[in-house]
Amino acid sequence: MTADILHAGFDGLKFTVQTDIPAELRRELASAKHYAKDTHSDCIVKYGDVALSVTHKGARGFTCHTGDHGAVWLFQDPEDPIPNNPNITVDFRAFGLATGGLEGAEKHFRECMEAFAIPYVETQLRVARADFAVDILAPWFEPNRSALVVPPKTKITEYTGVDETATVASGARVTGLRAGAVANRQLAIYDKRAEVLQTNKMGWLTIWNAAREKLDKPPLDLTDREASQVWRFELRLGSRQLRTRYEMRNWKDVRDMIGDAFTDALGRIRYTIPTLDSNRARWPAHELWVLVVRAIKDRIYFYQSGVEPSDVIFANRIAKQRELDAQIAGLFVTRAAISYVTGDEFGDFLEQHVQTIERFVSEHKSPVAERISKARARYRLE
């Protein structure tokens, strides 16, 4: 059956920045937000070449955006911060990523931070989410929940409308599947044509028709569903993948390793053709999934380092072990010094002091197994 790829590229990217906005920017935002509330419309504030639209939203902060090709900017109010919330969140818009890619997003971020006069260093950046989307013209296709092969305990949702998340009702046309969690790893397959029509985001039709023109094919007529049904396969990675498994923090990390993270995810989730074989791992990949995998890998080739998560985790664990060993050694030396232990006596002192430490551990109010479990969860180096 015929199927054409109409678009493939990054569709979402979210960063947080742990730095306060300057007092002057805070005053500008507060004034603009007040105006937006009074007029029930966005207030546009110019910073050089950057136009920042300030909305009335955000009870204890400021919600702004820099247009459909920019990003949504969420600023904490430094005079009324929300505990444990990031100071700044930057959520890049899909159209900007579709036309400018990661390079365009980074350029926009740096230009805005400079225009807003917000001080920051690379170590204050954190990657929160990254999405990659592939749009395929395939009117004959309909998602099948049983065709998804995913890791054990992965939640799968089947829905029949753009905004629905309930299990599909009997007899309804399936318009999408969603497997996994946004904070970790998620695959969404859904009717992108229906979403475009519902949200009136016709920019996607322009992108699709540009691809059609390159294929020497006529433009799509969205009024004819049988000839214009576009399905989106969207792979989403959250902080547990980007920060915990791959240790991605700043723009350089994203450029170096985002491809590795998506390649790893493609090896854990598959859309297949179900067979009678009881071993789902042997089910053949669906022809659309073959196209999706090829499209993603072709476009993330230059964003790979070949580093495995286990390599990063092992290196971090060894580094933390050395750090703690050095601290323990320093403490023992200090303890020996205040006990008038000489250098020649230090080895015996270490052996004898182990019993003292064991006693302190056993006398603690919490069992040692519980304390080890909490420490392991805190460092998450495995």
Same domain? For 199 and 96 the reply is: no
Same domain? For 86 and 36 the reply is: yes
Alpha-carbon distances of 205 from 98, 139, 230, 338, 345, rounded to whole Å:
13, 16, 10, 76, 79
Report long-range pairs for 78-86 (Cβ below 8 Å, ≥24 apart).
Answer: 78/20, 78/21, 78/23, 78/26, 79/26, 86/16, 86/17, 86/18, 86/126
Same domain? For 163 and 249 the reply is: yes
Into how many domains does the chain fold? 3
Q: What range does the domain containing 260 cover?
A: 1-11+128-307
Same domain? For 203 and 278 the reply is: yes
Pick from 307, 328, 350: which residue ends a domain? 307
Same domain? For 212 and 112 the reply is: no
Q: Above 50 in pLDDT, residue 336?
A: yes
Same domain? For 292 and 365 the reply is: no
Give this prediction's pTM: 0.76
Residue 154's nearest CA partner among 127, 131, 177, 175 is 177
Round to whole Å and give the CA distance between 178 and 158.
6
Same domain? For 142 and 251 the reply is: yes
Same domain? For 139 and 186 the reply is: yes
Pick from 119, 151, 173: which residue ends a domain? 119
Residue 270's nearest CA partner among 343, 207, 180, 183 is 180
Same domain? For 76 and 225 the reply is: no
Same domain? For 371 and 280 the reply is: no
pLDDT in tens, 31-79: 999 999 999 899 999 998 999 999 998 878 999 999 989 999 999 999 9
pLDDT in tens, 104-149: 999 999 999 999 999 999 999 999 999 999 999 999 999 998 999 9
Confidence of residue 165 (pLDDT cuts 50, 70, 90): very low
Question: pLDDT value at position 23?
Answer: 95
CB contact at 8 A, 175 and 162: yes
Same domain? For 263 and 183 the reply is: yes
Round to whole Å and give the CA distance between 184 and 376.
19
Pick from 82, 100, 119: which residue ends a domain? 119
Dihedrals phi, psi of 183, to nearest 5 degrees: -70, -20
Residue 35's nearest CA partner among 45, 27, 26, 43 is 43
Same domain? For 165 and 279 the reply is: yes
Candidate from 187-196, 259-268, 312-321 with smallest mean pLDDT: 312-321
Amino acid found at 257: M
SS3 state at 60? coil
Candidate from 163-172, 325-334, 338-347, 357-366 with smallest mean pLDDT: 163-172
